[in-house]
Each structure stands twice: as C-alpha cells, then as structure tokens.
Amino acid sequence: MKTVIITGGSRGIGAAAVRAFCARGDRVAFLYEKEDEKAQAVAAETGAQAVRCDVADEARVTEALSAIPDVDVLINNAGIAHYGLINQITPEQWRRIFAVHVDGAFYCIRAVLPSMLAKQHGCIINVSSMWGQVGASCEVAYSAAKAGLIGLSKSVAKELGSRGVCCNCIAPGFIETAMTKDIKEDNPLLVQVPMRKMGTPEDVANVALFLASPESDYITGETIRVDGGLAI
C-alpha cells in the first residue's frame, strides 16, 4: 500500500485517478479548491481523504500536506482553463493560471520531498497537456503554463533521479471533462484525432497507475501523450 496525494481530485481526471489508486488498495488523499459537494461524493465513494486547499496558496499547501506523512506518490493535476485572445488576457488571469498550474506543482513537490528523500524513493507525476507541447491558439496562458510543467518535470527528474525520485509528465489531448464539454464532434481539431474519438479521464488515470508502479521505475523525465495520436 502506497500513500498517494492527488491535486484537483474532485472531478475529471483527478477524480478518476482517486478511484484508480483507491481500487489498487492505496491510501489516497486528494486536494480540491471549492467544490465541496463533489469532493465529499468522491471521498464517500472511494474512502479517500478530501482536503480543501487552493494549491496556489503556499502556506495552505504546506499545512495540508504536513498532515499527510510518508508520501510515496504525488500527482499534480489541479488546473484551470482560459480561452481568449492574448490581448484579452488580463495580468490577473495570467498570474492565476500560472499560480495554479506551475506554482501549485512547485509547492506540492517541495512539501512532499522530505518524506521521499528520507526513504530515497518517490514518484511525482505532473499532468500537463498536449498544448504544453504544441501550443494552442486562444489558449496562450494555459499552453505556456502546461509547457512550464514539462520543463519543471525534466529539471526535477535530473535533480532527484540519483535520490530515487522519479518525475514524469502526462500530456492529455481531448479528454471528456468539464473543460471540454463544449467541444463538438465536428470540431476541426477533434476530427484530426487518428482514433476518431475523445479520451476518458480513466485513460489518463491508467497511465498514472503505470508511472506509479514498479514497472516504470527506470522511467523519468518523460512526457507521455494521451491524445489518440493527435500530436503525432
């Protein structure tokens, strides 16, 4: 049994990961920002511990994660979206997107490192996006923040590999979540997906299970796309 922390665990990919790791028999705690009803439903369904915490708040992250000792796996999944032209993005929106995606991952990694370094073993998984690899028109801030997660992951992998800590990224494409609920079947990008369908949150959770398993112990610094072949 491993101790697993998942951020953004009240819905979508995060909730699917909570279910997957709980089904594997792990001890799971997940962070969520504001959706109490959804979070409590996931906790009641899975037996996971729900912790309300804005990952962009360093003090709150430190407080929340200090109460969860001996962490084996950290999945930084919390994220927010923004759609609009670059000249319409306000500085406040830009900073908030980076605060949640990049600062939040940084705060969480730093909070769990003492326990991972003490036992010379750990797994960090950052949920990026295919847009962090190829960029997306009208999603400049989101794409830039997700690209930042990929760079963060590569650097952490190099810095901590000799200490037994692996760090990898998952880059989902079109996944059936609240963020993609308005995407229609005739979307010009969606029709380019070789597999001709959207992915599910479970598709991403299954990759996280693999990256947190002994079978992936020699994999670090990688970004695995889960996009149906769109970014080939």
Residues designated catalytic: 142
Neighbour-count burial for 115-141, b at 16+ CB within 10 Å, e otherwise? bbeeeeebbbbbbbbbbbbeeeeebbb
Give the count of alpha carbons within 13 A of 47, CB side only: 8
Cα–Cα distance measured from residue 75 to residue 145, given in angstroms and rounded to the nearest whole number: 16
Residue type, 121: H
Q: What is the CA radius of gyration of the chain?
A: 17
Q: Which two tokens stand for residue 97?
A: 């997107």
